[in-house]
């Protein structure tokens, strides 16, 4: 057996052996009594590869490992100085912990699901890529409401528009009778897309569930490219297969979450939410940016002084205060934050429920979760330590000065690299290309 094949087999065995065993703790480097874990290295290294024009190399791996060791040394020094994280940092660490547990929950419950994508499905989606559909919809969180409305509307398009004007909360959609306009492929929730692009023109669909609730779709029209370029289809086929796989897994994930939420006790203080959403929506929409800046947040906080401790929602007996909502809102993608923030609220509620589910499944005790939480904490401890060595008014340190500090700390806390693991290039390529 040649050497490269031997390394490959050892690497695969190592990866498989580390996936579920809590006692296995592979590391890239030991720093004092702490480690820079293999997971920590891969998690950050693959981002560098994907976001830069750099290619994987032994030199780049070594350089990245040294940077992580440098950060670990500063964090250890901060802890040994008994420096304490402030309230903001502790909140961010807790939110990061929830995010890491949700990621692990997704891997265990969703990513391993067997999804088959035949050529017929590829061709169908390729045709959809060259199609636009003209849609109207009615939306509500509760299935019972949408189901009752669907039985009233049936296939009567006049009734559909009338009921849309009665029940939709968004003013623009309300006034237009639920008109979404022309929708291209890749613009809808995957489950809605499946139904919208499959249904016949002029038809009203049975209730359809999305990530955020229930819909009745009315397909008014469709326009598509008549001739499909076979050569272009063949050249895009594999890329399209990956995209469809993502969509199918999102549908599975949404169904998992929706089933999880279905029996949960959730209540929302609607009047308080409308007040907050109007306030935040005005603050955001008065600016070019669609996210809340630190200055805007301070302004909003000042206006919310009297209500920020009030309960906005109850989720299985756990209170979500206005203050919690504002903090969690910062973790949502900028495009989620809109004028009424309804989508943001429901995403936050889903995140809380998923994090609780992950904790109930003991994922907070998983080695990877513990390691990544330590990594998040290290970022804050590193900043704390640097503040103790930087001049009073300085916010920046030269790389050369940083290296000198790290080198001096390495004389106190022994550093030992796991060169055998660091040099096994197959492992990195396998993980980075996932």
Per-residue model confidence as pLDDT tens digits over 181-232: 999 999 999 999 999 999 999 999 999 998 878 999 999 999 988 777 889 8
Question: Shortest CA distance to 380 belongs to which of 86, 42, 69?
Answer: 86
Domain count, the chain: 3
Q: Are residues 318 and 359 in the same domain?
A: yes
SS3 category, 215: strand
Q: What is the pLDDT of residue 332?
A: 79
> For residue 269, is it within any domain?
yes
Question: Residue 267 pLDDT > 60, yes or no?
Answer: yes
CATH code of 138's domain: 3.10.50.40
> For residue 14, is it within any domain?
no
Q: Are residues 372 and 339 in the same domain?
A: yes
Distance, first Cα to last Cα, the chain: 27
Question: Residue 415 pLDDT > 90, yes or no?
Answer: yes
User: Distance between CA 400 and CA 61 in Å, rounded?
Assistant: 20
Mean pLDDT throughout 10-33?
Answer: 56
Q: Are residues 203 and 316 in the same domain?
A: no
SS3 category, 74: helix
Question: Residue 145 pLDDT > 50, yes or no?
Answer: yes
Q: Are residues 384 and 425 in the same domain?
A: no
Return the minimum-mean-pLDDT range out of 55-64, 67-76, 178-187. 55-64
Q: Are residues 93 and 146 in the same domain?
A: no
Report phi then psi at 224, rounded to 5.
-150, 160
In this prediction, residue 275 has a pLDDT band, given cuts at 50, 70 and 90, of confident
Q: Are residues 219 and 249 in the same domain?
A: no
> For residue 136, is it within any domain?
yes
User: Distance between CA 321 and CA 307 in Å, rounded?
Assistant: 9
Buried (b) or exposed (e) across 303-341, using 16+ Cβ within 10 A? ebeebbeebbbebeeeebebbbbbbbbebbeeebbbebb
> For residue 19, is it within any domain?
no
Cα dist from 402 to 71, 188, 261, 405, 408, whole Å:
10, 47, 48, 5, 10
Q: Are residues 355 and 309 in the same domain?
A: yes
Q: Are residues 38 and 150 in the same domain?
A: no
> For residue 237, is it within any domain?
no
Question: Residue 264 pLDDT > 80, yes or no?
Answer: yes
Return the minimum-mean-pLDDT range out of 135-149, 256-270, 331-345. 331-345
Parent domain of 95: 86-116+244-256+264-389
Q: Are residues 90 and 78 in the same domain?
A: no
Mean pLDDT throughout 131-145?
Answer: 92
Alpha helices in 293-363 (DSSP H): 294-303, 322-329, 342-360
Q: Are residues 69 and 98 in the same domain?
A: no
Positive or negative: CA dihedral 40, 46, 51, 57: positive
Q: What's the mean per-residue pLDDT of the chain? A: 84
Q: What is the pLDDT of residue 334?
A: 67
Q: Are residues 270 and 351 in the same domain?
A: yes
Per-residue model confidence as pLDDT tens digits over 327-382: 888 787 766 655 457 778 888 998 999 999 999 999 999 988 998 999 999 999 99
In this structure, the dihedral spanned by the alpha carbons of residues 282, 283, 288 and 292, taken in order and rounded to 10 degrees, is -130
Q: What is the pLDDT of residue 16?
A: 36
Report phi then psi at 44, rounded to 5.
-90, -35
In this prediction, residue 18 has a pLDDT band, given cuts at 50, 70 and 90, of very low
Rg of the chain over Cα atoms, rounded to whole angstroms, equals 26
Q: Are residues 371 and 250 in the same domain?
A: yes
């Amino acid at each position: 057996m040649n050497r490269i094949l031997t390394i490959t087999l050892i690497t695969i065995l190592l990866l498989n052996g580390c996936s579920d065993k809590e006692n296995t703790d592979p590391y890239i480097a030991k720093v004092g009594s702490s480690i820079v874990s293999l997971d920590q290295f891969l998690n950050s290294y693959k981002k560098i590869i994907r976001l830069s024009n750099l290619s994987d190399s032994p030199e780049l791996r070594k350089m990245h490992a040294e940077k992580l060791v440098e950060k670990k040394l500063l964090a250890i020094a901060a802890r040994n100085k008994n420096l304490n994280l402030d309230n903001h940092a502790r909140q961010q660490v807790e939110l990061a912990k929830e995010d890491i547990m949700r990621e692990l929950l997704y891997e265990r419950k969703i990513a391993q699901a067997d999804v088959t994508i035949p050529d017929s499905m590829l061709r169908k989606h390729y045709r959809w890529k060259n199609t636009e559909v003209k849609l109207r919809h009615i939306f509500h969180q509760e299935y019972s409401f949408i189901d009752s409305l669907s039985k009233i509307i049936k296939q009567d398009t006049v009734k559909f528009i009338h009921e849309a004007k009665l029940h939709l909360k968004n003013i623009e959609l309300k006034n237009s009778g639920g008109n979404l306009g022309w929708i291209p492929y890749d613009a809808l929730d995957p489950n809605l897309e499946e139904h919208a692009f499959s249904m016949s023109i002029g038809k009203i669909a049975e209730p359809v569930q999305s990530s955020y609730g229930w819909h009745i779709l009315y397909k008014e029209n469709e326009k598509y490219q008549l001739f499909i370029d076979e050569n272009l289809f063949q050249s895009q086929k594999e890329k399209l297969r990956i995209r469809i796989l993502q969509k199918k897994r999102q549908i599975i994930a949404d169904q998992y979450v929706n089933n999880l939420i279905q029996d949960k006790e959730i209540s929302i203080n609607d009047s308080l939410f409308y007040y907050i959403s109007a306030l935040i929506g005005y603050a955001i929409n008065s600016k070019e940016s669609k996210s809340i800046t630190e200055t805007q947040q301070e302004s909003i906080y000042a206006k919310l002084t009297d209500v920020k401790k009030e309960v906005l929602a109850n989720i299985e007996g756990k209170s979500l205060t206005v203050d919690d909502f504002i903090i969690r809102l910062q973790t949502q993608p900028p495009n989620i934050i809109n004028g009424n923030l309804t989508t943001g609220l429901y995403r936050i509620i889903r995140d809380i429920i998923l994090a609780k589910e992950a904790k109930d499944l003991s994922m907070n005790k998983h080695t990877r979760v513990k390691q990544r939480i330590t990594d998040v904490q290290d970022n804050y401890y590193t900043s704390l330590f640097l503040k103790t060595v930087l001049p009073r008014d300085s916010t920046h340190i030269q790389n050369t000065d940083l290296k000198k500090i790290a080198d001096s700390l390495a004389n106190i806390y022994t550093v030992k690299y796991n060169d055998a693991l660091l040099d096994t290039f197959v492992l990195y390529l396998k993980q980075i290309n996932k």
